[in-house]
A = this chain, B = another copy of it.
Amino acid sequence: MSADQRRRGAASQGSGPWPRSRGPAAVAVANAWLYNAALVRHDLPTPGFSFELLATLGHARAGVLHTPRGDIPTPVFMPVGTAGTVKAMTADELRAGPLDARIILGNTYHLYLRPGLDVIGAAGGLHRFAAWDRPILTDSGGFQVFSLAAINEIDDDGVTFRSHIDGSQHRLTPEVSMHIQAVLGSDIAMCFDQCPPGDAAAEVHELALARTTAWAARCLAAPRAPGQALFGIIQGGTDTERRTRHAAEITRLAFDGYALGGLAVGESLDDTYRILGEIAHTLPAERPRYLMGVGTPRDLERGIAAGIDMFDCVMPTRNARNGYLFTQAGRVNIPNAQHRMDLGPVDPECPCSTCRTYSRAYLRHLYLAKEILYSRLATLHNLTFYARHVRRLREQILGDGLLA
């Protein structure tokens, strides 16, 4: 039984979050349709951006986010390039099939502190600095300020903090974050938000929500780089009423897309999935929906089933460096002694060059010898696994879903 048969079998048996399969006939119709039908394409507020919905399967959606720097089939997983590099990867490797990354992430906080805006500005932006010609999404810096830096002061205007690198003092406001993201020249900027800890008191949550809404309006009013879209962020923790209320506040503003922030930050998986299921499908259908910082392959499947279009997470890249490799048959802990003499590939079903070229035994050896090549090969594999995982789910939506 092929992987494809297994997947369809599972779907038609009703296991997992997916509706019942519509069967092979529907797939053929859907495929034929792909080449013929008029498409449902929604212009987004920022010129040059549009979101095309191709099919839905329950709340799940398959589409294309069109940007001035290229098309992004959705659902999509975005590799994280914290410091202007997806760790261990070249731009060429990220672009090449079967990985074929269509968009990567950059971290505003990290890039602002190092190499600094003057350097990236002189280079003409992050794309030219890092030799990456496809879309980039930048976060606002908010999450890192609240999780990495030493906070000196938070007020209604912004945050004063000390760098985790050299202790130097900086201040981030909605306008400063937008200015940094304009210099970086990302294709999609994110609103500066306040992320309280999940277990914060109700009044802390309420203050953070009020600020996040006010800051969202200020971000929307701030200047942007040419051809730069802006997404709003919905906070509210695991409280349904608070999430729903904040979603209403943020979606009243004309953002190009809407993100769920503050999930997978320590709450239970049940709470994550519950909020996802309650909120995601209620966000505007004609705009891309982005679940920030999530997650495992299963989280992605749940997120897609709930109606999410975009994901990012350090998990595939960080886990790779730490010895954890994703496969169709489950996670492989490469330092495990069972792989010492294993001459087979990490995942026999994987078309990445790591799996086509090198054995588990070789990867284990490189890992134990702390060789740089290990991180390269492992990262390429895990990112390919994530890309293929999301593409398979997309094909399932296109094949089994209702056409838009």
Given A83-B369, A369-B83, A343:B89 Cβ within 8 A = no
Residues of chain B within 8 A (CB-CB) of A89 are 373
Q: What is the CA–CA distance of A63 and B341 in the complex, to the nearest angstrom?
A: 40
A375 CB–B CB distance under 8 Å: yes
Q: Is the CB of A84 within 8 A of B114?
A: no
Q: Is the CB of A88 within 8 A of B361?
A: no
Q: What is the CA–CA distance of A118 and B373 in the complex, to the nearest angstrom?
A: 22
Q: Is the CB of A361 within 8 A of B129?
A: yes
A238 CB–B CB distance under 8 Å: no
A85 CB–B CB distance under 8 Å: yes
For this chain, the copies found in one complex come to: 2
Q: What is the CA–CA distance of A352 and B83 in the complex, to the nearest angstrom?
A: 23
A362 CB–B CB distance under 8 Å: yes
A323 to B: closest C-beta gap in Å: 15
Q: Is the CB of B361 within 8 A of A87?
A: no
Central interface residue in A85, A114, A129, A366, by most chain B CB within 10 Å:
A85
Closest residue of B by beta carbon distance from A341: B122
Q: What is the CA–CA distance of A375 and B85 in the complex, to the nearest angstrom?
A: 13
Q: Is the CB of B85 within 8 A of A358?
A: no
Q: Is the CB of A340 within 8 A of B119?
A: yes
Within 8 A of B (CB), among A76-102: 83-85, 87-92
Residues of chain B within 8 A (CB-CB) of A373 are 85, 87-90
Among B87, B129, B357, B371, which residue has its beta carbon within 8 angstroms of that of A359?
A: B129
Given A341-B118, A353-B92, A365:B87 Cβ within 8 A = no
Q: Is the CB of B361 within 8 A of A122?
A: yes
A99-126 toward B: CB 8 Å interface, digit per residue (1/0)?
0000000000000001100110011000
Q: Is the CB of B372 within 8 A of A115?
A: no
Among B115, B340, B357, B369, which residue has its beta carbon within 8 angstroms of that of A361?
A: B115
Q: Is the CB of A119 within 8 A of B88?
A: no
A–B complex contacts, Cβ < 8 Å, 19 sampled? A85-B366, A87-B372, A87-B373, A88-B376, A89-B373, A90-B373, A90-B376, A90-B377, A92-B353, A92-B357, A115-B361, A115-B364, A115-B365, A123-B359, A123-B361, A129-B362, A131-B357, A131-B362, A372-B375
- 5 more A-B contacts (CB under 8 A) besides A87-B371, A87-B373, A92-B357? A90-B373, A90-B376, A114-B365, A115-B368, A372-B372
